[in-house]
Structure formats: C-alpha cells, structure tokens
Amino acid sequence: MLKKLAAEFLGTFVLVLGGCGAAIFAGEGLGLTGISLAFGLTVLTMAFTVGHISGGHFNPAVTLGLVAAGRHPAKDAGGYIAAQVVGALAAAGLIAFIMKDAGAKDLGQFAANGWGPEGQHNGLSLAGAFIVEAVATAVFLLIIVGSTSKRAPAGFAPIAIGLALALIHMITIPLTNTSVNPARSTSQALFAGGVWIEQLWLFWVAPIVGGMLGGAAGKWLQSDEA
C-alpha cells in the first residue's frame, strides 16, 4: 500500500507542478491550448510511469468515481485522497517558493478556481459553475472507465485519458479555470487565499458528484449486459 500512496503523491505532485506551473510561469506564451496540453501531458506521462502501481488516479474525484464504478476498493479511498492532496500541496508550495525567489511580491490568484465577478472574469453563476465542473468530471470518468475496460485496446488508456483532460481544459479554463480535481483546486486556493478559499467547496463537491455519476454510468455502459 505504501508504494501505491507514494505513486499517487508523485503523480499528483507532477500534475500540479506541470499544469499549474505552466499556467503561472508561462501562461502568456503558452496560451489556452498550451496550458491545456500541459495538464493533459502530465497525466499521460505519469499514468505510464506509475499507473501500473496505483492505477494512476491523481485526483480525489477519480478515486471516488472508480469506487462507484467498482474499480477501486472503498477502504483504500481515504489513503489515496490524502496522498493526492499532500502531493498537490507540495507542488504548490514549490511553485510559490519559485515565484517568491523570482521576486513576486504576492501570489495573486495563483492558479485557483473560481466563478462570478470575484472569481473569474466570465461572470459565471454558481449553478453554471457547478454544472460545468460536474459534467466535465462525469465525462472524464466515462473516458477513464471506458478506456481501461477489458474490451478496450490494451495499453492506450493513458493516451486517451491525457488527451481527454487536455480537451476538458480547453473547454472549461475560460469558465472556471478548470478544476475537475479537488486536490489541484485545494493546493492553489490555500496559497491564493481570500475568495478562492471561500469558493473552494464547490470544487470539491461538483467534481466528486460528477465523478461518481460518471463512474456509475461507465460501469453500466461497459457491462456485458445489453
């Protein structure tokens, strides 16, 4: 179990360092597409690297979605989620250190998630943000469950999952700054502070609800029953 937790810590650490780091350090140059690909590539590469050890969740919503899909034991979910959150916080701490070392006077929004006038410039409502995050995470879980099915082509799941995450970011960065991952959201909100912490609850509840619905739907869709 220790190796599984270490793999989840490492995978989530790289996801936040690579994805959020790209947004913070190189966002202007990379643009929406580049940042989206950074998130997708971190999951793709780390799924190939440690997915065979822990399953390559790197995300509490994925862990609970796979529990709903019957793909992961519920008794192990708490440990996985703790490792993911700690990994995300460690990466965020490293990003913050680099920013301060480079002369940043404050961290600003960091790469936090939000909605509305005080969250994102788009003015999305609370209900709209919830729907965006829940639906995006549900689709993500459908892709994860389907691509890792015994009937799917073997060995290609990390590619499908990584590209799916990149696509999700391309669609939802302008809306909520894309969470679909409570650990990633927590790591950024705690350093950004203020309204970003106040809005953090949605970026736990919506992805988990969507993930579990997507996991359950994926289980039914991939079953042998007609």
Kindly state the average pLDDT of the residues 136-140.
98
pLDDT above 70 for 117: no
Kindly state the average pLDDT of the residues 218-223.
90
Confidence of residue 118 (pLDDT cuts 50, 70, 90): low
Give the CATH number, domain containing residue 148. Answer: 1.20.1080.10
In a domain, 226, yes or no: no
User: At what angle are helices 126-147 and 202-221 packed, to 10 degrees?
Assistant: 40
In a domain, 89, yes or no: yes
In a domain, 60, yes or no: yes
Quick check: helix, strand or coil at residue 195? Answer: helix
pLDDT above 50 for 114: yes
pLDDT above 80 for 144: yes
In a domain, 132, yes or no: yes
Rounded Cα distance between 69 and 66, Å, is 5
Domain range enclosing 200: 2-221
Q: Tell me the pLDDT tens digit for each residue of 74-96.
A: 999 999 999 999 999 999 999 99
- Type of residue numbered 150: K
Nearest to 13 by CA among 203, 187, 216, 210: 187
In a domain, 217, yes or no: yes
Q: Give the number of domains in the chain.
A: 1
Predicted structure pTM score: 0.92
Q: Tell me the pLDDT tens digit for each residue of 19-71.
A: 999 999 988 889 999 999 999 999 999 999 999 999 999 999 999 999 999 99
